[in-house]
Amino acid sequence: MIAVNIAQLRGHLSTYLKRVRRGEEILIRDRDTPVAKLVPLREGQIHSKRMLRLAARGLVRLPKKPMDWDAFFALPAPNVPLEKLLAALDAERGED
């Protein structure tokens, strides 16, 4: 990881962003005091604007890693009797 001061980063932002795209991390300093870090986004970390707004409001949590769909679908399906399932749906809808 390299470290750069804000003035240096400001003057050569495109160069540093290219390095981040290649996988490097860059420590950003303000008068030699670390204040932030530029890191490349991993696959699955790019979210829609709507999801980011919801996360900022605390209404959702963004995933820490991509969903492993193969592992998800390998899980056993729940075994719920149809009558119990329909009763739960009716109760949720207020159709008791």
CB 65 within 8 A of CB 44: yes
The pLDDT, as a whole number, for residue 42 is 67
Answer yes or no: pTM beyond 0.75.
Answer: no
31-79 pLDDT tens trace = 989 999 998 876 556 678 888 889 889 998 888 777 888 999 999 988 9
Query: How many residues in the chain?
Result: 96
Instruction: Say which CATH superfamily domain 2-75 falls into.
Output: YefM-like domain (3.40.1620.10)
Angle at 86 between CA 81 and CA 91, to 5 degrees: 130
CB 28 within 8 A of CB 9: yes
